[in-house]
Amino acid sequence: MHEMSLALGILQIIEDAARAQRFQRVKSVFVEVGELSAVEPEAIRFCFDAVIRGTLVEGAVLKVIEVAGEGLCFNCNQTVPLAARYDPCPACGGYPVQATGGTEMRVKELEVE
């Protein structure tokens, strides 16, 4: 389950920010998860809850913002919604479609005290 290592990475980002910005407690963590990122939102929530025990993040709420997949069709040169990486273009049915959005996962915002 790679979500556990991703949750540990999120915790590390927060701890680094806490040292740099000198905050003591985290109330909310906003994370963007792309539809094409191969990250399961429920799994990342579960893992996040496990890794924050005993840290300055304990008790914080993880808010997952799901980002839709998007791609550029090389056949019709349109930017189109993309539900899965190797799907055909929904506009023309052609291939290939290069993913251009919804592939990322990032910490977008922290609510701290």
* Residue 1 clears pLDDT 70, i.e. is over it: no
> pLDDT, tens digit, for every residue of 41-97?
999 999 999 999 999 999 999 999 999 999 999 999 999 999 999 999 999 999 999
Helix, strand, or coil here: 81?
strand
Helix, strand, or coil here: 3?
helix
What pLDDT shows up at residue 65? Answer: 97
What domains sit in the chain, N to C, each tagged with a CATH number? 2-112 (3.30.2320.80)
**42 is written with which tokens?**
């429920």
The radius of gyration of the chain's CA atoms, rounded to the nearest angstrom, is 17
Contacts of residue 21, Cβ cutoff 8 Å, sequence gap at least 6: 112
Instruction: Find tokens 């913002």 and name the residue.
Output: 65
